Amino acid sequence: MNDTLNDAIDQIIINLKTIGKIKINDKIYFTNGYIMIQKESFYRPFIRSMYGYSREQSCVLIQEVIMKAIRASVTLLNIDNINSHNPIQFLNYLKLMINLRDSFSICKEGLCNFIRTYEQDQTIVSRAENLIYHINNQLSIIDSRLEHNDYKIAIQKYFPAKLEQFITNATPPSYQKYYECNNNNASLLTEKKENHSDESAEE
């Protein structure tokens, strides 16, 4: 692994974790390679209008970050000269893979809040749901790799708390299942937030 790849993955991980911090009615924009969150304020609609920020642009930004992250994880998974005979390299690789995996998981919570923010826009909702599916699919692939003996032994030794999170050949859960598990309330899928229709009108 080279420094360029490490730097690129660091930026991806930061953006995934930022997406994970999105709350209901937060908005986002992109600057200098990083996603930024805009909290609700009186001036926010005017600022977003002035700079041309929109829900469509937000969805595209999130999609680009997630698909870039998936491509990066595929690149990591395809590195074939990583083995336990080089302990330092092996441990650094394992740390990076676990960090990327955790960032994917964190990202899903923010995506669910993004969906709640724009729940009246079914196109945006469907696109975000599809991204959650792709994340779950990639998590399943990463978990399968981490279940290999060398990785499993190292995780058990250095990251024992992570071991129970990895499920071999897990079927990617649907968005509905994920949403129910994370909110403990299936009615949140259809629940209408007070004044939500007015808030969601803002791009």
pLDDT at 98 over 90: no
Q: Which residue has the tokens 């792709």?
A: 134
Q: State the CB neighbour count (10 A cutoff) for residue 141.
A: 16
Residue 143, helix vs strand vs coil: helix
pLDDT at 182: 46
Instruction: Specify whether the CB–CB gap between 73 and 100 falls below 8 A.
Output: yes
Q: Per the structure, how many domains does the chain have? A: 1
Q: What is the pLDDT of residues 50-92, one digit of tens each?
A: 999 999 999 999 999 999 999 999 988 888 766 666 777 777 8
Q: Rounded CA gap, 63 and 49, in Å?
A: 22
Q: Mean pLDDT score of the chain, rounded to an integer?
A: 79
Q: Which domain holds residue 34?
A: 3-199
pLDDT at 80: 72
pLDDT at 185: 35
Q: What is the pLDDT of residues 146-197, one digit of tens each?
A: 777 666 666 666 666 665 555 433 333 433 444 444 443 333 333 444 444 4
What's the pLDDT band for 136 if we cut at 50, 70, 90?
A: very high
Q: Rounded CA gap, 126 and 52, in Å?
A: 23
Instruction: Specify whether the CB–CB gap between 81 and 59 falls below 8 A.
Output: no
